[in-house]
Structure 1
């Protein structure tokens, strides 16, 4: 946990917190001494003047306690909240640059838990450490010395009380700590099921699986609740036990103190001060126990956060950027092979093809043939296992991710839109795009009509674009990709929700646009009609490129392509 604090908290604020806490403890320890003086030298002797002066000192000391406590809490809150802010920012930045493999390795629900609940646990414990962890040992040592000073013989009570307290607290920690650690994993599980239920609510309703999902969520919720009930029931036993121990301690001190007062070896004021110091000692032990109970849970959270921050990305940035030798758009796959981590066999093997500026590459194949994986290698969402992918004449592994993302624009099959105005969504790839450029992209994407029918570029987009149909969302994401100034435009099955007529008009607009004639267009399609007019068509089957050529060439000679044609269009495609 202290590794997470390094570089994320202010040393001077932490030092200030410690200084003000020490001042608070010292002034708090001085108060019982003033009480004893008032009783011994003022009340018993009837000296009103002494009582007034000592009361004034007590008032000033109390004011110092309040000011020191306020300053300590203020600085500790700043340190802990700033730490939480920086941790959330660091995790978010880390996630943005994760490869798809790493993202899948951690999981969306777990990342949400680590960014919210785990960070909250860490910052709360840091706040506790800067308060209780500093206060408890200083208070315990100081109160012990002051109590010994008042009466050394009465301190024998602690030889009985403190071991009993230690045994009780040890038993509580033994049972509570593992349960606290388990709560984070159970929170992950609860978030996972809840998130799946939210994102898949339409599927759940369509298949009438609402009862099953409710049961699944109920089991996870009940499991979390039972764990929480156990741990908080155990922790809840601490206050009454502490009250009992403190009450017994007061009885023992009062009983022994009364004997010493009767023997005139102890003053009444000193007995009152001793009882206060005894309570401070026991409270310090309790505070330490609370810290030791909560810290393991925060330590588990810190380890989970560190697991994300220390995750080594498989996409290593080159130390020195390799400049592109070619100013013209070009794309080349050289004997490319790819295998997912821990997969038994490769997803792609021996893929070879080239494309130059002004050309369109179509990719087709059956489900699971590796189409999406292939285009993901262009934008370096994964790194090739064997071979090389060259963009504009340079290996993508020799270019920074920023350079690659600048040269490649992607429209995915799953249309993702962000909450905000349509203008903000379209300018996602080019923040300086003018209205004219935005409307031009919408016209190519065949989205101009329904956008004009709404509120134009100021049309409001709900989360995930839920106020648009599937086809409209796809056309808007295509327009967003076209707004970006790139060398290669990848459409990963992003025409799947379009009807044949809209699909044909969109592809015709792409071919006729002057700007796109200097770019490379890569289209992944399920339908022959979507990629039939491409300059080069790649046919994939179980990760292997089993065909490469024009529609006419593949139609005449490629068996796999012919099978796809026959399955889609009766009599074939001319």
Structure 2
């Protein structure tokens, strides 16, 4: 947590919070002494003038104390909230540069928890530290000194009280701290189940698994609730114990103090002041104990936040990137004997992948489920790096290219069409931020999406709900394809992005792609399941179990590749028209 405070806390503001807190504590410590003097010098001697003057001093000091407290609260609150804002921003910024490997390492649900709940824990404890943790030791020391000045004899009471409090706080921390630490992981589990339930709600209903999912969530929820109840029961146990100790201490002070007063070894005003200081000492000790109970939970959150911020990626930019751009019409994409395996996997996911595409070429990839098609295309935008071999764009190894430049030169439609809440125009501008309306409409025409967009009175300003929920699967795919086409790129990748389209729309879209002047300048890479989608490609890669078991044109593969023949025959029997 110290690392986060050192990096994100504005230290001059924290210092001002400390100064204001010192002012508040000085005010709180001065008031019992003035009260003591009023009793000893004003009431005992019937000096009304002294009482009025001392009362006026108390009002002024109280006002100054209130102002100091307000200053401390202001800086403590603003700094803790600003610290949380900066941490959240940095986590989000860091996550946007994660490779798929880092995303899989932490997980979506855990990242959400770390960005929300864990940051909130840091904020809450930071407020407590700038308030109670600053005030408690100062108050404890100051009140202890002033109490000793009032009656050294009575301070012996604390020799019994303080050890008792230390033992009680120690017991509470021993049982509560592990519970608080485990709570964060259990929040992760709740978020994971809840997120799966939201994204898979249709599947859950379709298979009538509502009760199962509700039970699964209820079990995780009960587990978290039970742990929370136990943790806060231990914390709540502190309050009555310390209240009892304070009351017992006051009884002891009154008992022994009355004897000192009767023996004229102590003035009544000093006894009253001593009781106030004793209460301040014990309350300060209680507040300090509460802070130390909650710090371990915040520390656990800080470790999780630092873990997210410290994730190092194997995919890094070179010190001297090669951003050489090939002339128009001379773009190339080459896989040179590429091998790849996922982290921790024993078997290769891709084995000896070798092919080349040039400007104007359409490279199609076909194969069974799990054959490695999406894994292959994920190497093109460098979401992963190959284990051996190389992937080159325009003759430059992707590892020698700046990632920003690479992503500018690659336009991709992922297997799952992703749309963002906003409008059709705002989603299209992801592909090309400075695109004109005419360019957007052209991309929509090519992607066969213009017709249903025109049906909405708002046109390009038509609302897109979260995840494109107000569009069908095919419409989402076409909008995602349009966004890809809109961007001027060297390589256009369509990762199984025609799967939700009917045969007619699929054929029209491919025809428009082949005729589009901008797309023809680059290389088109298509991952598909249908023979009809890949039949017109210049190069077809047939994949099986992570290997290219055949490559060539449709006619060449149909003549001599058994795997391609099997796919063809299975689809033709189902009525798939290759010439569609």
- Normalised TM-score (structure 1): 0.99
Q: Deviations over 1:446-474 (max 9, x none)?
A: 11111111131111111111111111110
Which residue, out of 381, 384, 389, partners 1:382?
384
Could you say which residue in structure 1 is the equivalent of 2:434? 432
Pairing of 1:138-157 with structure 2 (within 5 A): 138-157=138-157
- Residue 449 (structure 1) aligns with: 451
How far off its partner does 1:150 sit?
Answer: 0.3
Matched, 1:502 2:505: yes
Cα offset, 1:482, TM superposition: 0.8
The answer for the alignment partner of 2:191 in structure 1 is 191
1:109 maps to: 109
8 Å CA contact retained: 2:488, 2:518: no
| 1:519 Cα deviation after fit | 1.1
Partner residue of 2:397?
395
1:165 lines up with 2:165 in the alignment? yes
Task: Name 1:465's counterpart in structure 2.
Answer: 468
Superposed, 1:8-19 pairs within 5 Å as 8-19=8-19
Does the CA-based 8 Å contact 1:325-1:393 persist in structure 2? Answer: no
Give me the whole-angstrom Cα distance separating, in 2, the residues matched to 1:237 and 1:517: 73
Contact 1:409–1:489 at 8 Å: present in 2 too? yes
The aligned residue for residue 534 of structure 1 is 537
Report the CA distance between 1:231 and its aligned residue: 1.1
* 1:261 Cα deviation after fit: 0.4
- 2 CA distance for matches of 1:103 and 1:196? 16
SS of residue paired to 2:433? coil
Mapped partners of 2:119, 2:362: distance in 1: 47
Distance, in Å, in 1 between the alignment partners of 2:270 and 2:347 is 81
Describe how 1:301-450 pairs up with structure 2 within 5 A. 301-324=301-324, 326-327=326-327, 328-450=330-452
More off after superposition, 563-572 vs 253-262: 563-572
Distance 1:398 1:130 in 2: 48
Paired positions, count: 574
Q: What SS class does the counterpart of residue 410 from structure 1 fall into? A: strand
8 Å contact kept, 1:338–1:386: yes
Q: Aligned-pair distance for 1:384? A: 0.9
Question: Which deviates more, 19-28 or 292-301?
Answer: 19-28
Q: CA RMSD in A?
A: 1.1
For residue 254 of structure 2, what is the aligned residue in structure 1? 254
8 Å contact 2:323–2:405 — kept in the other structure? no
Indicate whether 1:137 and 2:137 are aligned: yes
How far did 1:325 drift?
5.5
Contact kept in structure 2, 1:478 and 1:494, CA below 8 Å: yes
Query: 1:495: Cα distance to partner?
Result: 0.2
Q: Could you say what secondary structure the match of 1:355 adopts?
A: strand
Q: Is the 8 A contact 2:485 2:519 kept in 1?
A: no
Return the match for 2:496 from 483, 493, 497: 493
Distance 1:45 1:79 in 2: 50
1:25–1:135 CA contact under 8 A, matched in 2: yes
What whole-Å deviation, never above 9, does each CA across 1:300-337 have from its counterpart, x for those lacking one?
Answer: 00000000001111211111211226233210000111
Separation in structure 1 between the aligned mates of residue 38 and residue 578 of structure 2, nearest angstrom: 106
Runs of 5+ consecutive residues of structure 1 not aligned to the other structure: none
1:475 aligns with 2:478: yes
Residues 1:245 and 2:245 aligned together: yes
Does the aligned pair in 2 maintain the 1:39–1:269 contact within 8 Å? yes
For residues 307 and 87 of structure 1, the distance between their equivalents in structure 2, rounded to whole angstroms, comes to: 13
Q: Measure the CA separation in 2 of the matches of 1:4 and 1:160.
A: 39
Structure 2 CA distance for aligned equivalents of residues 299 and 86 of structure 1:
18
Deviation at 1:6, TM superposition (A): 2.1
d(CA) in 2 for partners of 1:484, 1:573: 29
Q: Are the equivalent residues in 2 in contact too, given 1:113–1:187 (CA < 8 A)?
A: yes
Measured in 2, the distance between the counterparts of 1:474 and 1:537 equals 22
User: What runs of 5+ residues in structure 2 fail to find an aligned partner?
Assistant: none
Match of 1:205 in 2: 205
1 CA distance for matches of 2:117 and 2:106? 16
Provide Cα deviations, 1:341-387, integer angstroms capped at 9, x if missing partner: 00111100111111111110000011111000000000011111111
Report the Cα distance in structure 1 between the residues aligned to 2:373 and 2:101, rounded to whole angstroms.
17
Note if contact 2:176-2:235 (Cα within 8 Å) is conserved in structure 1.
yes
Q: Does structure 2 retain, via aligned residues, the 8 Å contact 1:413–1:495?
A: no
Report what 1:517 is aligned to. 520
Q: Which residue of 2 aligns with 1:265?
A: 265
Query: SS of the residue aligned with 2:7?
Result: coil
Check whether the contact 2:18–2:130 (CA below 8 A) recurs between aligned residues: yes
Q: Which whole-Å CA distance do the structure 2 matches of 1:384 and 1:499 have between them? A: 35
The answer to whether the aligner puts 1:57 opposite 2:60 as a matched pair is no
